[in-house]
Structure 1
């Protein structure tokens, strides 16, 4: 990169070229995106789960996705809409239905885009899942990517000193993170990163001039949307609020109001879809207790029915069935084909009757022992999990070596002059530690690296924050020839990982596949 006057139009020109090139690359990939079988523009069970909700909302006015799961494609043995990311519970009609396991707010917003497209073009997504899928994907992802790029580069430009460092970090923003592959698929990661970048840009912008209420309201909406798309990112949403309390109190009311608006929308859509304030993926256990017995009674359907009648949960004419569940000491009790209860037998001989709250436990569920495969089995060792998510086959540092500079940037928080900058770096560092610890401490079934994807995707929303934290280290390296060479080497290897994933984000990382080739991974 050539040195240019930081006050000239040269740097901004480079920014424009990088942004346009990145948006063009993503647009081209979306224009030809197609499933492995060639019958939809949906790349995995993860995004199919959201596509089903989007289609069901517009075409049927419901969050129930039953109709799409068994639809056949051009190949009669194919179910192009089928997904493993679903739950089952009782719907408004009192019958059991399938739903996406994803929080409904984002698909509801995207359904609004689909509604406009369908009424403009006169096509249904279920009839044109390739063509219309690409149109919708472009309309939601490309503007979101543009927001992420513009907001992140704006922040970097304000806090980086040398033009070489500015241009380097702009290149890293556009081409050096694993967000780029996720821009050609429907996921929560790109909108989460764009939201984080937006709050960050508004906060950084407030360092030089006073901002009005509207900007802080926008920051709150973005901060709330960040947490709505990545639940652990709630930590950063809170930290942003804390920073405003300390150094920008005039923005706290607008920010809080924006967060509250998104919170109402998040819980409101969740209630409409599931009659629960909790996201569907949190319903994975046993519900409130109904009754208990100190000694274990006969657990035949007849005896269970008598107990249910005693609790006014069934009538003498009800049909009661019992099924095994994914927990060995629990049986799923089905009353009249719709109402479900859990019959739990404890080692001490006592028995509990509970409301059913395991929405992932249904006939044919992928999420039962014996069905899950590969990384979905979960990593038993937390130490191994931590190693693989940082420097191993799904590693933050091994797949994106650029992040190796992040700890140096965060450690230098006391070397920056402005208190606002210090607080921002401290918040980013604390949130990073909190989220890494959160994922390491998850139960074994959740220690799956985010499933089959090109990276440890649950931390992707940190991309704009970590890029900002690189400002000081990259600026320091830019003053030394060997430093520039090292920075370019780290960026080159990061871009290499990105290039291996441009076919789609829902594949194992190149490093994981290489280790399989070497025989280090046999699962």
Structure 2
């Protein structure tokens, strides 16, 4: 081994030790993960929603989750598979069904792995809801975490930084972000971060080789690396829709780096985007995700009504309307907003019952009959029945929401203070370094600001800090991008003893938050819990 390669090998050895330790921690937690009741390995409504779809796809051949959510516990008092993260709409068979509200591509891929396990071993999720989920998490989440950590180690080696800063970057990835807690549950955030990390590494690797003047050789990567980069960038969108902003920026960055990258990059991206749209169409019969079905659909007919009509008068008027005249049966359900859900049943040419939902609402002297497009409004819906509580009620003040999402109870900087170095690193990265790195830093800064503004600008019902979770989880997929910005700043600080001490304190505080979250990612942050214990929480956080 050459003398100049010895420090690099020492760093790699350190990386390997930290990565193996992080993977072992995750594997250990997965091996014993159990619900509060002890009869499943599901930790929240969020992951139950995904597990229901995985089980239904393999065991029932459908995206409809009616059977899983109806499963009862041994004492018959609970439904351990039930979830609030579901919607209801008419399926391809013409009948009303419940479906998971989660994006479809990821759960379809997980179902593929489960299908192999099921057909190989004969084990089923619904009959073994403790050990089969653990096995699948070990087979899926653990390699994805490994991909995230290994690509971070490769990224810090490409960045021009001190030996200390590179080690600190990998340590932060292993123990200073919330990736570790989210590894023990089926969720989208780990996958989005790993996909983003892979794209980042491919970009830096290509740029580094193309600008390498030491070898005197020009690097022209083949189709495959560009294809993988495009596919991974688009897959992040499949897991985190706001990552669409970064996909657009990645396209510009790769095109600027090498225009010849575009055929491969765009092919990979388009293939994944087709998978996103195709699986959503397969699951829901719609090109729009369930999140987009929250309102009133197309107006169909204006129906005259007497003033203050009774339910019988409304029923009669509907049965004589043009839209519902041919219906065999019409049922009404009064809604919270004063309107009605209208369920019409007809017979198909094959003499099968076909159901259609409409919404009827008062509109001046007449009532308007519209296509039903609020998939979240169904009997017993958590989102429409007044059952929402705590953070799920939404934060009325956008100023308060911004504060708690950044510096408060759910704060990006208060929970993982290692990120305090990121804005400073971004400013430095915009001023120094080769052009491809400055462009990358600008793209990361722009995407970070755009996504944060997007979440702050959401309606009140959506301003819930990501629900009951250990952090402001919607920004977790930025972890590899922020680590990229952080490492050079750590390198500058590491030149002095007090700078190193400062970075160690930040890492230690971040690791503390991670440690408090290892039992489950689906719990309130430790700051929130401690403030609750002290009685500091205002009505806006507890109502």
Q: Report the TM-score when normalising by structure 1.
A: 0.96
* Residue of structure 1 aligned with 2:270, choices 257, 260, 263: 260
Match of 2:21 in 1: 21
* Residues 413-435 of structure 1: per-residue CA shift (max 9 Å, x gap): 33322111001100100000000
Match of 1:251 in 2: 261
Match of 1:11 in 2: 11
Offset of residue 9 of structure 1: 0.9
Are the counterparts in 1 of residues 430 and 442 from structure 2 also a CA contact under 8 Å?
no
Match of 1:364 in 2: 380
Matches of 1:74 and 1:421, distance apart in 2: 58
Tell me, what secondary structure is at the counterpart of 2:207? Answer: coil
Match of 2:134 in 1: 134
Match of 1:284 in 2: 294
* Residues 230-271 of structure 1: per-residue CA shift (max 9 Å, x gap): 001100011000112222211122111111001111111111
Matches of 2:282 and 2:90, distance apart in 1: 13
Where do residues 16-415 of structure 1 align in structure 2 (5 Å cutoff)?
A: 16-209=16-209, 210=219, 211-292=221-302, 298=309, 300-307=311-318, 309-315=320-326, 318-326=328-336, 328-336=337-345, 338-346=355-363, 348-368=364-384, 370-415=386-431
Tell me, what secondary structure is at the counterpart of 1:507? Answer: coil
Are the counterparts in 2 of residues 36 and 43 from structure 1 also a CA contact under 8 Å?
yes
Matches of 2:102 and 2:163, distance apart in 1: 42
Matches of 1:439 and 1:510, distance apart in 2: 22
Matches of 1:307 and 1:125, distance apart in 2: 44
Alignment of 1:499 onto 2:509: no
* Residues 10-40 of structure 1: per-residue CA shift (max 9 Å, x gap): 0010011111111111011101011110001
Tell me, what secondary structure is at the counterpart of 1:432? Answer: helix
Offset of residue 350 of structure 1: 4.9
Tell me, what secondary structure is at the counterpart of 1:127? Answer: coil
Offset of residue 333 of structure 1: 1.3
Matches of 2:325 and 2:57, distance apart in 1: 33
| Unaligned ranges ≥5, structure 2 | 210-218, 346-353
Are the counterparts in 2 of residues 305 and 314 from structure 1 also a CA contact under 8 Å?
no
Are the counterparts in 1 of residues 156 and 166 from structure 2 also a CA contact under 8 Å?
yes
Q: 1:60 to 1:141 in 2, by over 3 A?
A: same
CA RMSD of aligned residues (A): 1.7
Match of 2:441 in 1: 425
* Residues 147-184 of structure 1: per-residue CA shift (max 9 Å, x gap): 11111221122114210011011100111001110000
Q: Report the TM-score when normalising by structure 2.
A: 0.92
Matches of 2:339 and 2:370, distance apart in 1: 10
Tell me, what secondary structure is at the counterpart of 2:208? Answer: coil
Tell me, what secondary structure is at the counterpart of 2:300? Answer: strand
Aligned residues: 517
Q: 1:308 to 1:242 in 2, by over 3 A?
A: farther
Match of 1:513 in 2: 529
Offset of residue 89 of structure 1: 0.4
Q: Which deviates more from structure 2 when the two are superposed, residues 242-251 or residues 9-18?
A: 242-251
Offset of residue 319 of structure 1: 2.3
Q: 1:294 to 1:241 in 2, by over 3 A?
A: farther
Matches of 1:302 and 1:92, distance apart in 2: 32
Matches of 1:79 and 1:329, distance apart in 2: 31
